């Protein structure tokens, strides 16, 4: 543990006028207050506030802040009161310690009590004096450095809070050095394998390229010195967590990163910065699109520098950051490097105010209003650049990763809400569920009791919780959809084989089918992944299936076989519509010259009620439905596209061609059930083709004549309800 004189000496190194008596009194006061308290590591508790004070000496903070750091846990964890602090050290230090006490109660804000009012308290705690924030960040940094002494159950929560709140807050205040260490410590705890892998790769890269980096550094220094510019060149290695984030965000491999190593060019004046960029760009080729001037336009957190990338020595891409020594100090230590914390309070005449702290104070001005909603609307919680904070209509705060969608939001509220989500409103306006959320958005989820999440959502969401819930719901939906069908197929297979079906015997045969449960077998059979004959054979190894998987008649080159013309099934309802002449337009289509020949696409043709597109060709105009994949062939011919629409008034007795594909059970009578269902709906079957789909299923391709889109949808719905139908969909030609 650091001795009393050691702490005083640390402060005197950067502040010879430090109040040594004040520091000594604070040291003794805190040590007596904490007494025999112990940390999880077994060390005296007082070692923690002492280390927090030591971290702040590295930032060269004033005496009052160092004293507040030593006292910051006394009100919270000992019998000491605010009055005791005021009497011993004055109101200024008492206010700092009291502010830290309030802030320490908000560590749970990210994941447990996500309420807007909690953020009001967090900001109010640092609004009056930003030194409260600096002590709190140093406090969290030391806690993270000693996290391995904490119980395992608490480590992940503390690390996640650090990554969610404290590291972004340090970055928002421009304290990049502290942010980088907080992120690295959190990353090491939350993803130890990934952290170890990246560190190992960095060490290997450094060993491989060490000589080259030294040569580049020397050549850079030489070029600037020869031009009369006094520079200090420092190599920079990208932090492991930054590397991980970039790999995740861009879906690239470690080897594809080009900015792992960079160089900082430190000069004396701003004019030297611009002279240096001239030297760099006239000596080596610049990489287009890689120049950024943060001196003329500083970042929100006061960061100032010029960034560029050149093809430098050895034909290597070299990233350069050019800044003054003062800019570098601000880049590393943020608001802690600003004179506001060394020369006086922000309201002291002659003391400038940092851009980052000014933004914070402007945020606090909105808090003067009693209207919390206005505060939330105006601030947008822009302190946290790496997260998105959104709200439910009742004001509950939901923290999500940047890039999260309304689907992620729904699952963050509750798994059941995510599973039943069918739509959303963002800030009162209807929006797609895949909409990317922004800070401060209010999201209202619309639900349906009969809804299940589409499997495609798995590729849209960004949170692990949402992805796991979607996959779980997809498995359950598959079990519900295919399990019953699979059981039906299996039971009929046993019946055909002359065997008695027994679920207990099937359970004993699961290892032969490589399935974990009987339900998994039924789902596999229902989805066509397992043949029913294989299930029978697993239970009765002596079983031989006499059926063939192939078609009963020769296939054509497409893998389908067509029924003989005499076998074509045509159902007509008395007084129903008549089939149109081939190639003719059975009903007028608006938007086309009446004298122009019009035909409909032969496969998956358009039907009234759906959007259509006309394509002009040599033989006239062909009508396609808007969803037809064939339209992709005309993307390079914009002049051929015509905006057309149906003239439904003239379509009273016309029918239109379309195609559907049905996957049906391969059993006697199935085709008759399907044909009857279509006939009962007054539709015409013009032709039928069939193809094998394993032993248990066959695919039917049916050319159908329907009146309009409503007629077609009704037929599809009826077919989906038949027990012999596994799947039915419209074919898009």
Domain boundaries, the chain: 4-190, 193-337, 387-462, 476-539, 551-579+655-733, 584-650
Name the least confident of 110-119, 149-158, 287-296, 456-465: 110-119
> Which CATH code is given to the segment(s) 193-337?
3.30.460.10
Tokens standing for 410? 């729904």
The secondary structure of residue 204, as a DSSP letter, is: H
Q: Among the options 20, 77, 534, 562, which is catalytic? A: 77
Q: Which of 444, 376, 366, 368 is nearest to 116 (CA)?
A: 376
Tokens standing for 135? 């002590």
Average pLDDT, the chain: 78
- Asked whether residue 591 carries a pLDDT value surpassing 60, the answer given is yes
Q: How confident is the model at residue 338 (pLDDT cuts 50, 70, 90)?
A: low
Q: Which of 634, 636, 587, 594 is nearest to 615 (CA)?
A: 634
**Which CATH number is 4-190's, of 1.10.3210.10, 3.30.200.20, 2.60.40.420, 3.40.640.10?**
1.10.3210.10
Q: How confident is the model at residue 42 (pLDDT cuts 50, 70, 90)?
A: confident
The 10s digit of each residue's pLDDT in 208-244 is 877 878 888 888 888 888 888 898 988 878 888 888 8
User: Which pLDDT value is given to residue 361?
Assistant: 55
What does the angle CA 309 – CA 242 – CA 337 come to, to the nearest 5 degrees?
80
- Asked whether residue 472 carries a pLDDT value surpassing 50, the answer given is yes
CA 445 – CA 292 distance, rounded (Å) = 40
Taking residues 682-703, report their average pLDDT: 80
Q: Which residue has the higher pLDDT, 393 or 557?
A: 393
Q: How confident is the model at residue 369 (pLDDT cuts 50, 70, 90)?
A: very low
User: Which pLDDT value is given to residue 387?
Assistant: 61
Same-fold call for 4-190 versus 551-579+655-733: no
Name the least confident of 275-284, 422-431, 695-704: 695-704
Query: Annotated catalytic, 639?
Result: no
Domain 387-462 has CATH 3.10.20.30: yes
Cα separations (Å) of 574 from 571, 578, 608, 680, 682? 10, 10, 22, 12, 9
What percent of the chain stands above pLDDT 70?
Answer: 80
Q: How confident is the model at residue 726 (pLDDT cuts 50, 70, 90)?
A: confident
Name the least confident of 165-179, 329-343, 399-413, 692-706: 329-343
User: Which pLDDT value is given to residue 388?
Assistant: 73
Q: How confident is the model at residue 705 (pLDDT cuts 50, 70, 90)?
A: confident
Query: Annotated catalytic, 76?
Result: yes
Q: According to the 3-state scheme, what is the secondary structure of 390-417?
A: EECCCCEEEEEECCCEHHHHHHHHCHHH
- Asked whether residue 365 carries a pLDDT value surpassing 60, the answer given is no
The 10s digit of each residue's pLDDT in 618-661 is 878 888 888 787 887 887 887 788 878 877 665 556 778 888 88
Return the SS3 of 237: strand
The 10s digit of each residue's pLDDT in 476-534 is 777 776 777 788 888 888 888 888 888 888 888 888 777 778 888 888 887 777 878 88
Q: Among the options 19, 58, 63, 76, which is catalytic? A: 76
Fold of 551-579+655-733: Alpha-Beta Plaits (3.30.70)
Contact of 62 with 23, CB cutoff 8 Å: no
Q: How confident is the model at residue 297 (pLDDT cuts 50, 70, 90)?
A: confident
User: Which pLDDT value is given to residue 273?
Assistant: 93
User: Which pLDDT value is given to residue 627?
Assistant: 78
Q: Which residue has the higher pLDDT, 647 or 287?
A: 287
The 10s digit of each residue's pLDDT in 556-589 is 444 454 444 434 444 443 333 444 444 444 456 7
- Asked whether residue 550 carries a pLDDT value surpassing 70, the answer given is no
User: Which pLDDT value is given to residue 43?
Assistant: 87
Name the least confident of 39-53, 165-179, 381-395, 562-576: 562-576
User: Which pLDDT value is given to residue 110?
Assistant: 39
- Count Cβ neighbours within 10 Å for each residue of 295-324 and write b for 16 or more, e otherwise: beebeebbbbbbbbbbebbeebebbbbbbb
């Amino acid at each position: 543990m650091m001795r009393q004189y050691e702490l005083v000496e640390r402060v005197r190194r950067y502040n010879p006028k430090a109040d040594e008596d004040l520091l000594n009194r604070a040291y003794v006061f805190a040590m007596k207050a904490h007494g025999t308290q112990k940390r999880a590591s077994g060390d005296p508790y007082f070692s923690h506030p002492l280390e927090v004070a030591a971290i702040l000496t590295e930032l060269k903070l004033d005496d009052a802040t160092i004293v507040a750091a030593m006292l910051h846990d006394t009100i919270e964890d000992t019998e000491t009161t605010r009055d005791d602090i005021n009497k011993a050290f004055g109101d200024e230090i008492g206010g700092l310690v009291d502010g830290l006490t309030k802030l320490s109660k908000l560590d749970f804000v990210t994941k447990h009590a996500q309420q807007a009012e909690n953020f009001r308290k967090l900001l109010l705690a640092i609004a009056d004096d930003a030194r409260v924030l600096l002590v709190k960040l140093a406090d969290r940094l030391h806690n993270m450095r000693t996290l391995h002494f904490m119980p395992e159950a608490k480590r992940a929560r503390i690390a996640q809070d650090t990554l969610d709140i404290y590291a972004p807050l340090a970055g928002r205040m421009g304290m990049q050095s502290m942010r980088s260490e907080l992120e690295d410590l959190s990353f090491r705890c939350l993803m130890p394998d990934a952290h170890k892998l990246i560190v190992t790769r960095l060490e290997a890269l450094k060993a491989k390229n060490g000589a080259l980096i030294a040569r580049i550094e020397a050549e850079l220094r030489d070029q600037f010195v020869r031009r009369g510019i006094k520079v200090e060149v420092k190599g920079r290695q990208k932090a492991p967590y930054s590397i991980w984030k970039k790999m995740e965000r861009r879906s690239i491999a470690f080897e594809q990163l080009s900015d792992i190593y960079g160089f900082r060019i430190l000069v004396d004046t701003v004019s030297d910065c611009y002279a240096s960029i001239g030297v760099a760009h006239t000596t080596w080729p610049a990489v287009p699109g890689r120049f950024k001037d943060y001196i003329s336009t500083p970042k929100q957190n006061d960061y100032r520098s010029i960034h560029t990338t050149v093809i430098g020595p050895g034909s290597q891409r070299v990233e350069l950051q050019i800044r003054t020594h003062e800019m570098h100090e601000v880049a590393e230590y943020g608001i802690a490097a600003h004179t506001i914390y060394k020369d006086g309070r922000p309201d002291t005449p002659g003391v400038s105010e940092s851009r980052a702290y000014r933004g914070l104070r402007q945020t606090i001005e909105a808090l003067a209003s009693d209207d919390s909603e206005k505060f939330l609307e105006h601030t947008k919680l822009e302190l946290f650049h790496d997260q998105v904070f959104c709200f439910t209509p009742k004001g509950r705060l939901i923290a999500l990763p940047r890039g999260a969608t309304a689907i992620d939001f729904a699952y963050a509220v509750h798994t059941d809400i995510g599973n039943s989500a069918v739509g959303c409103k963002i800030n009162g306006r209807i929006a797609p569920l895949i909409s990317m959320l922004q800070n401060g958005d209010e999201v209202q989820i619309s639900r349906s009791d009969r809804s299940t999440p589409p499997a495609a959502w798995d590729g849209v969401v960004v949170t692990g919780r949402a992805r796991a819930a979607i996959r779980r719901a997809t498995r359950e939906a598959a079990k519900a959809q295919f399990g019953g069908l699979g059981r039906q197929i299996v039971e009929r297979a046993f019946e055909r084989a002359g065997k008695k079906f027994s679920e207990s015997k099937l359970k004993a045969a699961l290892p032969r089918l490589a399935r974990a449960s009987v339900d998994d077998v039924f789902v596999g059979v229902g989805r066509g992944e397992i043949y029913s004959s294989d299930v029978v054979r697993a239970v009765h190894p002596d079983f031989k299936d006499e059926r063939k998987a192939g078609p009963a008649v020769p296939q054509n080159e497409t893998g389908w076989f067509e029924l003989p013309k005499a076998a074509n099934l045509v159902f007509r309802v008395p007084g129903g519509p008549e089939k149109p002449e081939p190639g003719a337009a059975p009903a007028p289509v608006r938007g086309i010259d009446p004298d122009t020949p019009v035909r409909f696409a032969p496969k998956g043709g358009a039907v009234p009620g759906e959007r259509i597109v006309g394509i002009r060709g040599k033989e006239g105009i062909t009508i396609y439905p808007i969803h037809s994949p064939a339209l992709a062939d005309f993307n390079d011919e914009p002049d051929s596209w015509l905006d057309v629409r149906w003239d439904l008034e003239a379509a009273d007795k016309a029918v239109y061609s379309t195609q559907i594909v049905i996957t049906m059970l391969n059993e006697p009578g199935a085709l008759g059930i399907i044909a009857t269902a279509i006939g009962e709906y007054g539709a015409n079957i013009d032709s039928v083709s069939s193809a094998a789909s394993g032993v248990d299923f066959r695919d039917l391709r049916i050319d159908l004549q329907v009146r309009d889109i409503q007629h077609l949808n009704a037929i599809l719905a009826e077919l989906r309800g038949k027990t012999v139908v596994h799947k039915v969909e419209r074919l898009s030609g």
